[in-house]
Structure 1
């Protein structure tokens, strides 16, 4: 696999995990009674959003470069962007991107 493709896949998984952890923390923080142990855990997970934001910005740049090299349309790139903002969606999109890249541009996804 090319380095760009590997970086994209790693970033997609990291962004996806951070998004899920952040979402769980959000639900715990705002969905439970103040002062409970789980509510405090949700409060402690708040910095995950900051980390997700920074890594998501790197993901956006890498996804843009990858979509340009593959000569994909703007809607494909936008789907890649939205996937980093909807919990769980990025795992499906990452799989679809990998399949499409292997089919359309095997030189970018060499093993």
Structure 2
């Protein structure tokens, strides 16, 4: 079970980084003047969303399995899932999940 927790943590960080980079890329792409270097960088970062989407799907499955093992409520699971869609939130949620899992189920969170 420790492996599931570690996989969750890695996926949360990867999803979070991809979400932030994708958001910054979109801001550059759509808010800056067409043809500028930074606008082109934003355009070049567009495939990040495809990668984020596929990894997010794996994250959803792992978050669901972890919440089932920990016997957490639906609102806790929903918070974990929504965190992968709001830039920056996933880092706070991942920390909260780690703390709560270590307190409530130390056998699941051994690192």
TM-score (structure 1 length as normaliser):
0.99
Give the deviation of 1:110 after TM superposition: 1.3
Q: Does 1:66 align with 2:66?
A: yes
CA RMSD of aligned residues (A): 0.8
Unaligned runs of 5+ in 1: none
- The corresponding residue for 2:98 is 98
- The corresponding residue for 1:44 is 44
- C-alpha separation in 1, matches of 2:37 and 2:109: 45
- The corresponding residue for 1:34 is 34
Q: Does 1:16 align with 2:16?
A: yes
Off by >6 Å, runs of 4+ in structure 1:
none
Unaligned runs of 5+ in 2: none
Give the deviation of 1:64 after TM superposition: 0.1
TM-score (structure 2 length as normaliser):
0.99
Q: Does 1:54 align with 2:54?
A: yes
Q: What is the CA deviation profile of residues 3-38 of structure 1, one whole-angstrom value per residue up to 9, with x for unaligned ones? A: 000000000000000000000000000000000000
Q: Does 1:110 align with 2:110?
A: yes
- The corresponding residue for 1:5 is 5
- C-alpha separation in 2, matches of 1:60 and 1:35: 37
Q: What is the CA deviation profile of residues 40-59 of structure 1, one whole-angstrom value per residue up to 9, with x for unaligned ones? A: 00000000000000000000
